[in-house]
Amino acid sequence: MKSGLRRSSALLVGVAVAAVAVAVVASGATARTTQTGSVCVLLPDTKSSVRWEQFDRPAFVNAFKKAKVPATIVNALNDPQKQLAQAEQCISAGSRVGIITSLDTGTSIAIQKKFTAVGGKTIDYDRQIVGGTGSVYVSFDGNLVGRLQARGVIAGMKAKGTYNRNGVLAQLWGGPTDANAFWFKSGNDDILNPLFRTRKVAKGPARFVPEWDSKNAQTIFEQFLVQTNNDIDGVVGANDNIAGAVVATLKAKGLDPIPLSGQDATVQGVQNIISGWQTNTVYKRVPLEANAAAAAAVALFKGRKPPSNGTRPNKGKRQLAYLIPVSSITKANYKILFREGFLKRSQVCSGQYRKFCN
- The CATH number assigned to the domain holding 271 equals 3.40.50.2300
Nearest-angstrom CA–CA distance, 21 and 40: 10
pLDDT tens, residue by residue, 321-341? 999 999 999 999 999 999 999
pLDDT tens, residue by residue, 111-161? 999 999 999 999 999 999 999 999 999 999 999 999 999 999 999 999 999
- pLDDT band of residue 358 (cuts 50, 70, 90) is confident
12, 119: one domain: yes
Domain count, the chain: 2
Nearest-angstrom CA–CA distance, 285 and 47: 19
204, 269: one domain: yes
CB 261 within 8 A of CB 237: yes
CB 87 within 8 A of CB 114: yes
Domain containing 273: what range?
142-284+329-356
25, 152: one domain: no
For residue 265, pLDDT over 60 is answered with yes
Q: Which residues, 6 or more positions from 207, have their beta carbon under 8 angstroms from its beta carbon?
A: 171, 172, 173, 220, 224
pLDDT tens, residue by residue, 22-70? 444 433 333 333 356 899 999 999 988 889 999 999 999 999 999 999 9
125, 266: one domain: no
Nearest-angstrom CA–CA distance, 307 and 296: 6
89, 155: one domain: no
Nearest-angstrom CA–CA distance, 12 and 333: 27
237, 251: one domain: yes
215, 297: one domain: no
Tally the C-alpha atoms within 13 A of residue 311's C-alpha that lie toward its C-beta: 8
Alpha-helical regions (H) of 174-255: 179-197, 214-228, 240-252
φ, ψ dihedrals at 185, nearest 5°: -60, -35
- pLDDT band of residue 219 (cuts 50, 70, 90) is very high
pLDDT tens, residue by residue, 67-120? 999 999 999 999 999 999 999 999 999 999 999 999 999 999 999 999 999 999
φ, ψ dihedrals at 67, nearest 5°: -80, -10
154, 48: one domain: no
245, 157: one domain: yes
Nearest-angstrom CA–CA distance, 136 and 123: 5
Of 3 and 116, more confident: 116
DSSP sequence for 72-106 = EEEE-TT-HHHHHHHHHHHHHTTEEEEEE--S-HH
191, 76: one domain: no
- Give pTM, 2 decimals: 0.83
Render the burial of 263-276: b for 16+ CB within 10 Å, e for the rest.
bbbbbbbbbbbbee
For residue 204, pLDDT over 70 is answered with yes
Instruction: Give the residue-averaged pLDDT of 158-185.
Output: 95
7, 123: one domain: yes
For residue 7, pLDDT over 70 is answered with no
Instruction: Give the residue-averaged pLDDT of 247-267.
Output: 97
195, 337: one domain: yes
In percent, the amount of the chain with pLDDT more than 70 equals 90
